[in-house]
Each structure stands twice: as structure tokens, then as C-alpha cells.
Structure 1
């Protein structure tokens, strides 16, 4: 299976639905209250349609595979609580980044992120035969860094002055990765966290 194949991924906690225009109202609602998050990329609620269109354009170009994160994976028509993607897809080298991820405040510090990451990592390693899955985050996004480290990803380094943000501020990017040999232990850790509730 290709890293860019649009597939539905689901477990008892979340459903990752291939992103579509029909998710726009849910994404707009989920993004409310996140306008202050200057260190991460969350769509303005009024620009949700443009955000969806951009992610779909990147999908069509072959370097992103976007999903809407829907709470209650076993319930049809559940609540959209965020977005996530396979991005910077390098199919030839079976390398991918999980990124452009955000969650509405009510879904943060719940099982949603852990369950979504379990689905994405299992898909990357077990169906797509990835040789590395990468995570990148802003140096100042301490919550994201802590969440990535709790997954079991190892820090590869910091790309200093990596990007210029929309506000003109330079961003240092922290890079993490998980390799196939590390995946069984990472999987076990994620499953244990979900079992604890």
C-alpha cells in the first residue's frame, strides 16, 4: 500500500476519515478557541474551507495524505475534533512525517491523540512498510514535544532558524523519528496507555 493511499483508519476511540470538503464545518467548529496557538498551524475557523482546499491540493500533488480526526471511532457521524496528515511523503524511500496535526481543546489530554497516533503509525509501518516515521514541532510547542516523546519517538535534533513563520518570527524545528525496529515497543506503549484510559 502507498503512503498516499486514501484509507479510513479506525479504532474504539477515533476514526481517521480521508479529508473531504464535507468535513469543513466540523473543522471550523473544532478550530474555535485555538486562534492563540501561534507556535502551531491551526486554521482560522473562518478559513476552514481554504485549509481543506490546500490540504487536498497537496494530496493531489502527492506529498500529503490528510485525515479529519473524528471522535468515537465506532460511531458513524461522530464529532470532528481536528486534523492530521502524512506529510513530506517520500514514497521512493518509504519515509514519511506525521504532521499538520491539531486537536480542539476539548479533545486535548484525552485518548484521542494516542489513539490517532497508534492508527497512523500502525498504518505506516504495517501496511506501507515505512522505514522511518518522522515528527516535527516548533521548539516553543512544549506540549507537542512532550506528547511526541511520550510516544517513544527519539529526538534526532533541532533545525535552527528552519522557517519564517507567518508573523515573521524565525522557527526552530525539533525533529523526532521512530524506526521499524522501535515500532513494536512503541505500539505496546501506546496500547498500554489506551488500556489505562
Structure 2
């Protein structure tokens, strides 16, 4: 799509992408820079010329070269795409930058210019961002903008190696734009901007250790202090027969649940599950915004765990639960890394354990 838009401000200039930019773009593009794209990493001049040609030939896409406004040096590329002004929506993406400008003002400046034009000049109702679920750097950048996570589209992306992967969607709506704009302006002015990422507290442990009871006590303590939070019983996220473990239903359900809480302003999430502390990466990805994670493994002696299980189970069910609990205890102790906090529960009240868990989380 040919266009004549030039957007300038805050040290950058976005100009229509042209074949002449291919050489400079190739100079800093490698597999790390290109991570998360759906096409192979351009390796030579012909490859990059093809990338530029594809961008220009794609309907509904306005592609830009990003220039340092002081030096005219090409430092990246970004695009409006899937532009549908009749429906008042578009996406921002196909973005990559010279690593030399990572962590600088370049990305927030570009996003400010693009969204100012989209909302202010074109009058759109929605600007969306689509990110490969494995691209944690991009997820963190989009989250830092203040974009709202909307969900996970399964097998939505075809990766360069032929595998399929999920896309995470984020968006900014017109009535959210003023707050996002102010946040970007504050960052560009060098002001401290509050970290808006999720704080995820994972509570794991063998059956009979008291995960649910401690989580309830955590909930009570936070409620008494009027701290906004949500508690999710992880075991209920895929409680079905046959259990669909191989399909990742629990993580997908967590993503859906948390998306709704986060849209309402929640930022603290407690998740309980026997092996949650072993699956921190999966659960953090499901949350979708590179969360701060605290992993707590509750522990108990065999005698304590067995006695607690006997209060709720009988006969063959008790025998089965005890066997699974003992096996889980061995596995958790062997596999939980040094970053996992061990908190004993023997002879302690749920309130006492919950208070320690909250201290570890810094809540």
C-alpha cells in the first residue's frame, strides 16, 4: 500500500518505507531482532528487498522506516496494518529496531506518533497489537504501553520453521487513549511511570498441604486491607474427565479469566495448583504481560499431609490421594528450583502461613 504519511516528533521521524531503506535495515537485522516475525530472517540484500516489497504490496498496510530525526539514520521499521477506517480499527506491528535503540525513547515515541495519528486524525475506535506468545520482549513492550490484554488465539501464527503458535492480542480503545497518551508522554519526559504488570503469586504443594486453605487466608488478609486481587484455584481450570492436559486447557482458561480481571483493573493474581511452581513459565505466559512472579511451595511432613487428607477422604479414595501426595512431594522437592520459596505448614495456622506468603510476595 503506497502512502505519503510522515510522522515526526520526540526525536524520531516515520517516513514511507521505500526500497532505498533495505540496505540500512539489513545492517542491524539478525535472528534476535527478527524474533516473533512470521517470515524467515532476511539474510542478504535480496531477502530484505523482498521484505520491503511485500510491505509495500500488502493492502491495508502503511509501512514506515523509522529515522533518528537528528541524524537521518534508519533505526527501524513499523507499520499500520489491517487498516479498516470504515470500521474504525487497525493494528500496529511489523516492528523491529536496531538493538542500539532498544530501551531508549524510540519505541514509545513511535507508538505515540502512530496512535496520535490513528485516534486523532483518522478517528479510529481501536488500535490493536498482535504478538507471538513466545516473544516476551514484545509482550513486555506492549504491556508497558498500557494496552489491555484481550486473549490468546490458538494456532493463529505460522512460524518460519513451519510450526504453529498462538497470538496474544492487546488493544487500546479510544476512551483509553488519553491515559495511554499521558503515560507515553511521561515516559518520554523521563518521569517515573508505575509498573503496570501483573504480580502473579503461585502457591503449590502436595495434596494435604493446605493450598486452598492458605489461599483463602491470603484472600481474607488482602480483603481486610482492601487490596484488589483475584484468587484462582488452578485445579479447577481443567477439572474434567478425561483430563485434557495435553491440550493446555488450564493455561488457556487462566488467560481468559485473567484477561477479564485485568480489564477491570486487577493486577494481583493468586493461583493455586499442585505443580504450579514447576510451570511458572507456562502460567506467566498465559497471564500475558511478563508478570512479576513469586513461587511458593508449601511443605508438610507425610504424617501431617496424611492426617489432613484423612479428614476429607475415605477408603480407596484416601489411599489413592495419599499415594499421589507422596509422589508429588518427592517430585516437587526434586524439581522446584532455588527461586521457589519453601514454606512449611506443619503445626501452623493458615493465617500464619498466609502472612508469610504475602511477605514473600511483597504484597
Give the Cα separation in 2 of the matches to 1:38 and 1:5.
27
- The residue aligned with 1:22 is 20
- Are the counterparts in 2 of residues 69 and 83 from structure 1 also a CA contact under 8 Å? yes
Higher radius of gyration, 1 or 2: 2
Residues 43-87 of structure 1 deviation map (CA, whole Å, 9 limit, x = unaligned): 5141111111111111xx3x100000112x2x3x51111110001
Identify the structure with the greater strand proportion. 1
- How many residues end up aligned between the 2 structures? 187
Q: What residue ranges of structure 2 are gaps of 5+ in the alignment? A: 192-363
* Partner SS for 1:181: coil
Is structure 2 residue 17 aligned with structure 1 residue 35?
Answer: no
Match for residue 69 of structure 1? 66
TM-score (norm 2): 0.49
**From 5, 8, 11, the counterpart of 1:7:** 5
Do 1:6 and 1:65's aligned partners in 2 also have CA atoms closer than 8 Å?
no
* d(CA) in 2 for partners of 1:39, 1:94: 26
1:21 CA drift (Å) = 1.5
SS at match of 1:99: strand
Contact 2:15 2:66 in 1 (8 A): yes
Contact 2:16 2:63 in 1 (8 A): yes
Name the Cα RMSD after superposition. 1.8
Separation in 2 of the partners of 1:149 and 1:8? Answer: 26
2-structure distance, mates of 1:153, 1:49: 32
Conservation of the 8 A alpha-carbon contact between 1:98 and 1:135:
yes
Structure 2 residue 132 is the aligned partner of structure 1 residue 135? no
Structure 1's consecutive aligned runs of 4 or more residues displaced over 2 angstroms after TM superposition are: 3-6, 36-43
